[in-house]
Structure 1
């Protein structure tokens, strides 16, 4: 089973299937009734920018029965799903255990991370077909990790699986600026900074659009330590400071 890298030709369907299946499984849990969900991270960036983009996670080496964390950062495809309930907290550990227990054929835990088992049909000679399995990392983001919770998140009951609930570009931009100042891995910090700039350029032409208090605070908290990846970064960081101070 390929854990560290998905081939380009099956990357999109694998990520999409992982996100859809996770949301469908969460929807079946009565204790999550009224919970809200939003897809964030690299998959959301890729969706909004309509370009191929890989995401960085802490280094994982493929072994037969376990994954070993290293200090390196390598390219790994994953799905980040923010899950929260406005009126009361979620027991995330219990929810993960139930997910793995009830849907053991779909989800596995390996050295901490949660993985979705994606099966891809491969065409063989003489019209024969075979299925190859891949593990797609699925991160369920608890409500205390983001700098704020997105107002436009959708309840599990209202999600249309044909239209995955991606967080909106402005919230994603704010998250990326905030995260770029916190990552221990420089490559991930740089990727967050690049994502934020691309979203700003693609959707807002680097103009100052109105911000909510949560968006303003998130950008302000991360802009000073945001990674610099080009000559224009200092100027862009100055503009971001101007934006939040309007």
Structure 2
């Protein structure tokens, strides 16, 4: 993304966070930037914890006028706390101006995989699957991907849906994510030898 566009998006993100601090319903909420600025698109996507939010809830959006005639879309994706929460998500009240809570590229990959099947439309599911594949390829160029136990659990929950909406088989994803041990193999207890006939 061009530096100029990036410079227009960051103030928009700061304004949103500053305004959320004044809303009592978000007093205990955590927030992280999960798209737009993070994946180099001209908008800002926030993940925000909202108690009781359904997993498949459609993201809500706001618009921000940058002052130079450009309108920036701000997407708010609400989730409930029990769902997988990227480590970058921090309490809104703790964020100071200029210190935006960007999700890491690895956590973004995990979140895309985990949430793919929960998205409200097929188009959104396809988009998450496409984003996940692109992020995975970018990360693979930097070295082996190492997931934490929590990240592996989240990936395992979303992998079947991801394989459905991506162009890659589940075994491909497992190999690329360093989770080959979880690939299904024939169970030994399913193999039966032919009983010997009595003489």
Q: Indicate the TM-score class for this superposition, using the shorter chain for normalisation.
A: 0.5 to 0.7
Matches within 5 A, 1:155-234: 155-183=91-119, 185-205=121-141, 207-213=144-150, 215-226=151-162, 227-229=165-167, 233-234=168-169
Pick aligned residue for 1:20 from 14, 18, 21:
14
Higher strand share: 1
- Distance of aligned partners of 1:145 and 1:187 in 2 relative to their CA distance in 1, 3 Å threshold: farther
CA distance in 2, matches of 1:45, 1:9: 14
- Distance of aligned partners of 1:82 and 1:244 in 2 relative to their CA distance in 1, 3 Å threshold: farther
Q: CA RMSD in A?
A: 3.5
1:38 aligns with 2:7: no
Aligned residues: 172
Tell me, yes or no, if the aligned pair for 2:12 and 2:66 is still in contact at 8 Å: no
Deviation at 1:11, TM superposition (A): 4.7
1:79 aligns with 2:44: yes
TM-score by length of 2: 0.65
1:120 aligns with 2:49: no
After superposition, give the CA deviation of every residue in 1:83-115 in whole Å (9 maximum; x if it has no partner). Answer: 23xxxx6598xxxxxxxxxxxxxxxxxxx9442
Task: Indicate the SS of the match to 1:223.
Answer: helix
Deviation at 1:12, TM superposition (A): 3.4
Deviation at 1:148, TM superposition (A): 1.1
User: Which segments of 5 or more consecutive residues in structure 1 lack a partner in the other structure?
Assistant: 1-7, 47-52, 54-76, 93-111, 122-131
Task: Indicate the SS of the match to 1:139.
Answer: strand
Rg larger in structure: 2
CA distance in 1, matches of 2:43, 2:81: 17
Deviation at 1:209, TM superposition (A): 0.6
Tell me, yes or no, if the aligned pair for 1:118 and 1:133 is still in contact at 8 Å: yes
User: Which segments of 5 or more consecutive residues in structure 2 lack a partner in the other structure?
Assistant: 54-58, 183-199
CA distance in 2, matches of 1:15, 1:151: 22
TM-score by length of 1: 0.55
Name the structure, 1 or 2, with higher relative contact order (CA <8 Å, separation 6+): 1
- Distance of aligned partners of 1:221 and 1:90 in 2 relative to their CA distance in 1, 3 Å threshold: closer
CA distance in 2, matches of 1:166, 1:9: 17
